[in-house]
Amino acid sequence: MIGALAAIAALWLLGRGLRPRGAEESTGEALGLDFLFGAGLGSLVFFLFALRSIVWAFVAVYGTLLVSVVIEAIRGRGLPRLRFERSAMAVALLLLASVHILRGFRDSLAGDGYAHWGWKSKAMYLTGRVPTERLQDRERFGYANPDYPFLWPSLQTWTYLHMGEQNDEAVRILGAAFLLALAGVFVGRLRIGTVAALAAAIVLLAPRQWIRSGASGLAEPPLCAYLFAGLAAVAEFAESPSKSAAARAGFFLGFAGWTKNDGLAAVAVGGMLLGILAIRKQGGRPAAVSIGLFAIVVISVLLPWDLYKHVHDIRGYYSIGTAPVSEAGARLELIALSLKSNAMDFHRWLLIWPVLLVGVTLALPSLRRSASARVYLLGGTGIFLCYLAALLLSPLDPGWQIPTTMPRLLMQVEAPLVWCVAFAAQEATLASPARS
């Protein structure tokens, strides 16, 4: 396990040196964002070099880490001073976090954790490089979604290399690390006082869907974390537009797109929100600079994978066409049924969805007054609408695809919506960050 922890610590250190900083960050938020940025950048570097060899990739990431440590030393950042909140809610959240970690040690991967993500990382580890021929073999390995990007398999292989073996436990611990990073960012961005922020984090992470997901080997933990961190950067841009916030939004939303194809919806919606905000709040040349910076960062994160797919003719299931329009009614009915069954599933969701529906409706007057709250609300709902559109157009069997994917899609947009309800429950004081 020391190998897995070293792999995670190296990613965090990478992010700590190279991540563009926000104006006011609590310790928990900074820790979470450092890890997320390091994991995103590290996986990108790893993938690029793993096209040749995973040994080269391993060395290249450590080379980047060396640069990061030098930058860190020059900027005088050093290690963060950890401050533990003396609060019973903090203890409760720590207990919840320990359950996530415990499940990481004891649980088993989900089917797609084996067959999609795990297969890719094992193939990469066994063949010693990105398994291009296998990804091209649609007949044999089409079920493993070869067109899905390689952030998660790259990180898994990175962890295998630290351990010297393929290891399921490491994958599950990595999933828990992403959820804890999300918790840090979530509490940090909820600048509403410690108790309320910690309570909201418990509401977010307590349902079984989340606890199971961290240990499932699925790509949802990183995607949820990147999606929220990206929207948080756009929300910061909405409060006070800056090039740094635009760049951070580009990085985190770009990493969401580099995690999973679903994340491209976050890139589109987040990018649109940032563009509108830049034009309305900055206007003219500053707006063009912010939008341009965001676009450059996003493109530089997503371009390598898109080029790779294009060069090697790796195609996804949308390449076989889209569903006929005549099926739209039946698909909408399936979507409605699936939403209903998730909303009523106490064991999986603890009734969070009916509560969020009522809560967000009640919170609307408060949310409309805050620029950042509008970003979370419009971002979360906009991304979910994109997902529904994708389900309407998908060529796969809707009877299988809609019920299978709906819990994951709901999970991806839950954090921004819980943020909205918690924000409205407390008099918002955005000037001072919550301590965590």
Partner 1 sequence: MAAAVYVVTGIAALFAARELWRWFRTRPFRADRRTLLRLVLGAMAVLGFGYSVPREARNAIEKIGPSSPLPPDVSACSSLIAEHVPFGRSVLVVLPQAWSLRDRKYLETNLNYLVCPLRIDYAVDSRKVAHDYRDVDRATAGYSDPLQFFRPLSAERYDFVLVFRPEPPPRGYERLDENERAVLYRRGP
- Classify burial at 180, counting beta carbons within 10 Å of its beta carbon; exposed 0-12, middle 13-18, buried 19 or more: buried
- The dihedral of CA 231, 121, 178, 262: what is its sign? positive
Residue with tokens 């007057």: 365
Pull the structure tokens for residue 265: 């919806």
Q: Give every CB contact of residue 417 below 8 A, 6+ residues apart in sequence.
A: 356, 360, 376, 377, 380, 381
Residue with tokens 């967000």: 360
Is residue 426 close enough to count as binding partner 1 by CB under 8 A? yes
134, 243, 281, 312: residue in contact with partner 1 (rule CB under 8 A): 134
In 3D space, the residue among 281, 286, 292 whose CA is nearest the CA of residue 249 turns out to be 292
32, 207, 222, 382: residue in contact with partner 1 (rule CB under 8 A): 207
Is residue 339 close enough to count as binding partner 1 by CB under 8 A? no
Is residue 118 close enough to count as binding partner 1 by CB under 8 A? yes
Is residue 106 close enough to count as binding partner 1 by CB under 8 A? yes
Q: How many angstroms separate the CA atoms of 116 and 145, rounded?
A: 7
Residue with tokens 């909405």: 238
Is residue 373 close enough to count as binding partner 1 by CB under 8 A? no
Shortest distance, position 254 Cβ to partner 1, whole Å: 29
Shortest distance, position 242 Cβ to partner 1, whole Å: 31
Shortest distance, position 42 Cβ to partner 1, whole Å: 24
Residue with tokens 């962890």: 159
Shortest distance, position 141 Cβ to partner 1, whole Å: 9
In 3D space, the residue among 367, 405, 363 whose CA is nearest the CA of residue 388 turns out to be 405
Is residue 343 close enough to count as binding partner 1 by CB under 8 A? no
1, 336, 358, 385: residue in contact with partner 1 (rule CB under 8 A): 358
Is residue 354 close enough to count as binding partner 1 by CB under 8 A? no
Q: In angstroms, how far is the first alpha carbon of the chain from the final one? A: 27
Q: How many angstroms separate the CA atoms of 365 and 359, rounded?
A: 11
25, 107, 220, 262: residue in contact with partner 1 (rule CB under 8 A): 107
Shortest distance, position 22 Cβ to partner 1, whole Å: 25
130, 199, 232, 267: residue in contact with partner 1 (rule CB under 8 A): 199
Stretch that binds partner 1, among 124-132, 221-229, 237-245, 296-304 (CB under 8 A): 124-132
Please report, as residue ranges, which positions from 84 to 103 form the binding site for partner 1 (by CB under 8 A): 87-89, 91-92, 95-96, 98-99, 102-103
Pull the structure tokens for residue 48: 């690029």
In 3D space, the residue among 116, 145, 350, 368 whose CA is nearest the CA of residue 238 turns out to be 368
66, 143, 165, 399: residue in contact with partner 1 (rule CB under 8 A): 143
111, 283, 292, 399: residue in contact with partner 1 (rule CB under 8 A): 111
105, 280, 283, 389: residue in contact with partner 1 (rule CB under 8 A): 105
Please report, as residue ranges, which positions from 299 to 338 form the binding site for partner 1 (by CB under 8 A): none
Residues that bind partner 1 (CB under 8 A): 87-89, 91-92, 95-96, 98-99, 102-103, 105-109, 111, 114-115, 118-119, 122-123, 126-127, 131, 134, 139-140, 142-143, 193, 195-196, 199-200, 202-203, 205-208, 211, 350-352, 355, 358-359, 362-363, 365-366, 421-422, 424-427
